[in-house]
Amino acid sequence: MQIDQTSDGSYLVSTEGVNWTILADDTGVTLVDAGYPGDFSAVLDSMKQLGHGLDSLRAVLVTHAHVDHIGSIPQLLSAVSVPVYTSTEESRHARREYLQQATPLDVARNALLPGMLHWSAHIVAKGALRNVAVPTATGVPLNVPLDVPGNPVPFVLPGHTSGHTCFVVGDVVITGDALCTGHMLSRTTGPQVLPAFFDHDRAQHLSTLSMLATLDTTVMHPGHGPIYRGSLAEAVEKALIEL
């Protein structure tokens, strides 16, 4: 696990399999995504390393409700009562009113991808096959600051999932899986989109990346891979060229 501070109060926590973000100010902590079920102790440790316990947690935000991003939320909520926010559409996904996630059959069809065996073993060990839901997930207004530590501004970038939600915090954009910089199945680092079988609607995903290109933020917290610093327009252009 690696923790990098990217701005005042914004931290990207990177692990081999997935990332999450911690936003901290004098009112407490907001956690954006929470890894796999098996990442619960790492989530707690990342907060502890920044001087915060569970009593500092004020809210959990969700970019999208895949198991590698909401996996440890139920364990967090069993220890502390905090709201879980995302877009209205993604809140339905988090509550498991429906499921948009790669299936074991999708994985089998892509078994020849480099790194698939290692990635598959890793995610199974992290609890990827568990049924995870967040019944208290709630939709929030878009494009206005949330009243939580860091005051992130949510906006929807659909395609990876129907309600996939990104967050802007000052000069930082938290992109979830809309735009990444690496993955256990990727042989490169730098702006990129994940393999197509991870997307609910690939065409929509690629078309909505243009929304990211309009942002004037210069730091990206991806759901997978290292921090990106630079123009988001250039990042989107590079990711699309690499397809």
For tokens 């699309």, what's the residue?
A: 240
Region 34-63: mean pLDDT is: 98
Q: What is the pTM of this model?
A: 0.97
The string of pLDDT tens digits covering residues 114-170 is: 999 999 999 999 999 999 999 999 999 999 999 999 999 999 999 999 999 999 999
Are 123 and 69 spatial neighbours (Cβ–Cβ below 8 Å)? no
Q: Is the pLDDT of residue 242 over 90?
A: no
Residue 94's contacts (CB-CB under 8 Å, 6 or more residues apart) are 62, 65, 70, 84, 86, 133, 134, 137
Mean pLDDT of the chain: 96
Region 182-200: mean pLDDT is: 96
For tokens 């701005």, what's the residue?
A: 7
The string of pLDDT tens digits covering residues 202-212 is: 999 999 999 99
Q: Is the pLDDT of residue 69 over 90?
A: yes
The string of pLDDT tens digits covering residues 14-41 is: 999 999 999 999 999 999 999 999 999 9
Number of helices followed by number of strands (H, E) in the chain: 8, 12
The matching CATH number, chosen from 3.30.2350.10, 3.40.190.10, 3.60.15.10, 3.30.420.10, for 2-241 is: 3.60.15.10
